[in-house]
Amino acid sequence: MTSIAPGATIGILGGGQLGRMIAVAAAQLGYRTHIYAPENSGPAADVSPRWTQGDYTDAAALAAFAGAVDIVTYEFENIPQAAVDQLAALGHVRPNARALGIAQDRLSEKRFVCDLGGRTAPFEPVDSLDMLEEAINRIGSEAILKTNRFGYDGKGQARLSDPGDAVHAWSTVGRQPSILEGFVRFDAEFSVILVRGADGAVRFWDSPRNVHEQGILATSTVPAGDPIAAQVAEARALAAQVAEALDYVGVLTLEFFASPDGPVFNEMAPRVHNSGHWTIEGAVTSQFENHVRAICGLPLGDTALAAKSVEMRNLIGHDADAWETILTDPAAHLHLYGKREAREGRKMGHVTRLSF
């Protein structure tokens, strides 16, 4: 595939804040964007000139969308495989449908990474209460039950600490196909964020230390410091293998626990990621710009850190009401996603602060 020159239209499946930030980066490079989403509006609507409201099962609407864009990418992974396969048959989808298929199912993603020699928490597939009880016998009751699909920000998960928790956990996850994971005693969490170009070139951003609160990312900080720094090389090697094996094009994120045994892979996202938002101001080239460059077949930009240290803090729910106070700090870069209603646990924006 030859490169897609500025002036072309990038189709984005999903219209949330990630779509919004991809669209801003695309516009800066001279591209137009066209969102396809089941909702009639969303954070990306304010910055994207075209929007199709359509269901992911509406083959006619998807075909019309494919005809109106030059390349398709996506900003979240819960898109039915059939929709992505249809779009891929009609044109180019980057990252490819296989990457999405693996990443949207926890069991297949863990098996895929294990097959490449990566370290994961012990895990067992669970399709019934009986299987859950057997899995607890093998893994132990210090564990987390997670739905295979459609989980995000800690949703679709149940923490177990006693074999008697099985019934409650199985009902908490809605009795859906799940995996039981042994609880990892980690020292810290971090992510590897890379971009792989259409020519196979790979660049990594500095790995941030990620702190979660109630299962939701609260802060990402670079440099990540000890003990993460010593584990980044091994985690990067695994992430590069994943990208290579999938013939991946675009930004790819892998999340890890820094454990006493080394980096433990938790999950991957075949897209730009919340733990990479700091790159907008904190890196020479942001994850959003490099995602656009990669999917359009352009040379990649430098991923080097642009400050001594950077901290990104998510504004969750009513945190964003403090925007005026946040702006009294002249070093704070405020990002608000334009969401009208501040619900509990909802990502409303983020703040990035650079130190020199």
**Residue with Cβ nearer ligand AMP (50 or 159):** 159
Of the two residues 35 and 217, which places its CB atom closer to ligand AMP in the complex? 217
Contacts 24+ apart (CB under 8 A), 327-334: 329/353, 331/355, 333/280, 333/281
| The two structure tokens encoding residue 183 | 């609880």
Q: Are residues 108 and 81 in contact, defined by beta-carbon separation less than 8 angstroms?
A: no
Helix (H), strand (E) at residue 351: strand 347-355
- Which position among 33, 178, 253, 266 is part of the footprint of ligand AMP (CB under 6 A)? 266
Nearest Cα residue to 310 out of 340, 341, 336, 287: 287
Residue 215 interacts with ligand AMP (CB under 6 A): yes or no: yes
Answer yes or no whether residue 124 interacts with ligand AMP by CB under 6 A: no
Task: Examine residue 274 and tell whether it contacts ligand AMP (CB under 6 A).
Answer: no
183 is an interface residue for ligand AMP by CB under 6 A? yes
CB of 182 to ligand AMP, least distance (A): 6
Closest contact distance (angstroms) between CB of 22 and ligand AMP is 22
Output the CA–CA distances (angstroms, integers) from residue 137 to 111, 132, 162, 184, in the order listed: 20, 9, 11, 17
In the complex, least distance from residue 264 CB atom to ligand AMP, rounded to whole angstroms: 8
How many residues contact ligand AMP, by CB under 6 A? Answer: 13
144 in contact with ligand AMP (CB under 6 A): yes
* Residue 212 near ligand AMP by CB under 6 A: yes
| Closer residue to ligand AMP (CB): 151 or 297 | 151
d(CA 203, CA 303): 7
Q: How many Å apart are CA 249 and CA 303, to the nearest integer? A: 16
Determine the interface stretch with ligand AMP among 178-186, 231-239, 309-317, 324-332 (rule: CB under 6 A): 178-186
Question: Is residue 154 near ligand AMP by the rule CB under 6 A?
Answer: yes
> Is the sign of the CA dihedral 226, 231, 233, 236 positive or negative?
negative
Tell the smallest beta-carbon distance from residue 114 to ligand AMP (Å): 14
Between 265 and 337, whose beta carbon lies closer to ligand AMP?
265
184 forms part of the interface with ligand AMP (CB under 6 A) = yes
Report the length, in residues, of the chain.
356
354 exposure class (CB count in 10 Å sphere: 0-12, 13-18, 19+): middle
Q: Which of 165, 169, 129 is nearest to 145 (CA)?
A: 169
Residues in contact with ligand AMP by CB under 6 A are 121, 144, 151, 154, 181, 183-184, 189, 212, 215, 255, 266-267
